[in-house]
Structure 1
Amino acid sequence: MKLKDIRRDYSQAKLNEHNISPNPVQQFQDWMNQALEANIRDATAMSLVTVGKDGFPQSRIVLLKDFEQEGFTFFTNYRSEKGMAIEANPKISLHFFWPELERQIRISGIACKTSLVISKKYFHSRPQKSQIAASISEQSSVVQSREFLENKFAEYAEELNGKNPDYPENWGGYLVEPVKFEFWQGRENRLHDRIVYEKTDDEWKIKRLAP
């Protein structure tokens, strides 16, 4: 089959100004709850888009670990490619795609580091092997081989002798304060529903976009 011949119609749900919350975070909560209730695999996975030092957008999948009115939280290595990009330009984008529900959510916002207390608490809540991996990995740097990483992991695990590693100072969370949301619901005949929330003077304005 040729790629240009692959298509399907969308007909599961509707999205309009009368059945959404005036608060985009509440609307996100409603959709996330529905995604979790539908047992969608990796429902918390989101594409994080940053702008690299070369000026090119960079996208990768990270996991949402918390959200509230103030913003959306994820964790990573601060010295990674994405960490360095955020340090240079904290304007980022998050993108959720749930094909089973024929839905997408795009969020534009400003990223800042979470408190050390939050970062440490989450780090130590992770499985021990995940803590070890985060501690020994110089994320985004060039390594000589897979064997090098596995040996480094094994050596540090042996050194710890069953204890948990200390918190690595180059690892932690980001809180993304949203300034814009777009909720996308697939519809028949490619006349998709697109509802946008934009923050103006601490107030969310709602508008519809053409598909």
Structure 2
Amino acid sequence: MSLYHSRTQYTFSQLEKSDLKTTPHEQLQEWLDQAKQENIPDYHACCLATADHTGEVGARYLLLRQLDEEGLVFYGNRNSEKGKHISNNPQGQILFFWREFNRQVRVSGNIIELDRECVNDYFQSRPLGNQHATAASEQSDFIASREELEKNFSLFEAQYPDYVPTPEKWAGYRLKPHYWEFWQGRTNRLHDRLSYLWDNATSQWKIQRLQP
């Protein structure tokens, strides 16, 4: 099947250097706020790409849980593929894409683990059913059937009807960025691409336009 002629003209907006905030996390927050105001489902969903020690790449969607000047925070099972990748090669890239706005954002940086207090606070804020599912699942491991997974879930529901202790396998991570890129789709594929790169000499973010 050929997809040669499947294409869309992007006409939603444009992006100039003068439009951008001084810091990239503020710019991302503005775009997240706009997506939220438009009621875009899972507007804070993003794709995290990581690699193991050999360079084998893995990517998966997850939900951003915190954004500030220190970086982007997400949570997950440290025994999963992403957890093992981060443990052995703590670098990654996060990608946001909002089709409705013809926009994407790429953020590259080093990934560090959060302390247990932060991890526990977030885990205990989750719906009880989500807590049971996390405790019951050995994420990324093989399992014989859906029925076995649901049986494990039921066992944890019965054991912890009101409170689930935060599992040791549950971890929090912060991607500490050194590079950001904001992309706005334009007509004729002359897209707007503007990057933030940290300048150690000035201790400021340097904004540059990239060719599309």
TM-score by length of 1: 0.96
- Identify the residue that residue 198 of structure 1 maps to in structure 2: 197
- Identify the residue that residue 65 of structure 2 maps to in structure 1: 65
- Identify the residue that residue 124 of structure 1 maps to in structure 2: 124
- Identify the residue that residue 208 of structure 1 maps to in structure 2: 209
CA distance in structure 1 between the aligned counterparts of 2:12 and 2:168, rounded to whole angstroms: 46
One-letter identity of the residue aligned with 1:139: Q
Deviation at residue 155 of structure 1 after TM alignment: 1.5
- Identify the residue that residue 22 of structure 1 maps to in structure 2: 22
CA distance in structure 1 between the aligned counterparts of 2:79 and 2:11, rounded to whole angstroms: 43
- 1:18-38 Cα deviation digits (max 9, x unpaired): 111121111111111111111
CA distance in structure 2 between the aligned counterparts of 1:143 and 1:53, rounded to whole angstroms: 26
- Identify the residue that residue 183 of structure 1 maps to in structure 2: 182
54-63 vs 68-77, which deviates more? 54-63
Contact in 2 for aligned 1:47/1:95 (Cα 8 Å): yes
CA distance in structure 2 between the aligned counterparts of 1:165 and 1:29, rounded to whole angstroms: 32
Contact in 2 for aligned 1:86/1:111 (Cα 8 Å): yes
Identity %: 40
The CA RMSD measured in Å over matched residues stands at 1.2
CA distance in structure 1 between the aligned counterparts of 2:54 and 2:140, rounded to whole angstroms: 15
Q: Secondary structure at the match of 1:196?
A: strand
- Identify the residue that residue 9 of structure 2 maps to in structure 1: 9
Deviation at residue 151 of structure 1 after TM alignment: 0.6
- Identify the residue that residue 79 of structure 1 maps to in structure 2: 79
Q: Secondary structure at the match of 1:104?
A: strand
One-letter identity of the residue aligned with 1:198: L
- 1:44-71 Cα deviation digits (max 9, x unpaired): 1100000034422111001001110001
- Identify the residue that residue 165 of structure 2 maps to in structure 1: 166
Q: Secondary structure at the match of 1:144?
A: coil
- Identify the residue that residue 43 of structure 2 maps to in structure 1: 43
Report the count of equivalent residues. 210
One-letter identity of the residue aligned with 2:177: P
Q: Secondary structure at the match of 2:33?
A: helix
CA distance in structure 1 between the aligned counterparts of 2:190 and 2:36, rounded to whole angstroms: 26
Contact in 2 for aligned 1:123/1:172 (Cα 8 Å): no
Deviation at residue 72 of structure 1 after TM alignment: 0.6
CA distance in structure 2 between the aligned counterparts of 1:186 and 1:205, rounded to whole angstroms: 22
For structure 2, list consecutive stretches of 5 or more residues without a partner in the other structure.
none
- Identify the residue that residue 96 of structure 2 maps to in structure 1: 96
For structure 1, list consecutive stretches of 5 or more residues without a partner in the other structure.
none
Q: Residues 144 and 53 (structure 1 numbering): CA distance in 2 closer, same or farther, change over 3 Å?
A: farther
CA distance in structure 1 between the aligned counterparts of 2:111 and 2:65, rounded to whole angstroms: 14
TM-score by length of 2: 0.96
CA distance in structure 2 between the aligned counterparts of 1:101 and 1:81, rounded to whole angstroms: 31
One-letter identity of the residue aligned with 1:190: R
CA distance in structure 1 between the aligned counterparts of 2:11 and 2:129, rounded to whole angstroms: 43
One-letter identity of the residue aligned with 2:208: K
Deviation at residue 40 of structure 1 after TM alignment: 1.2
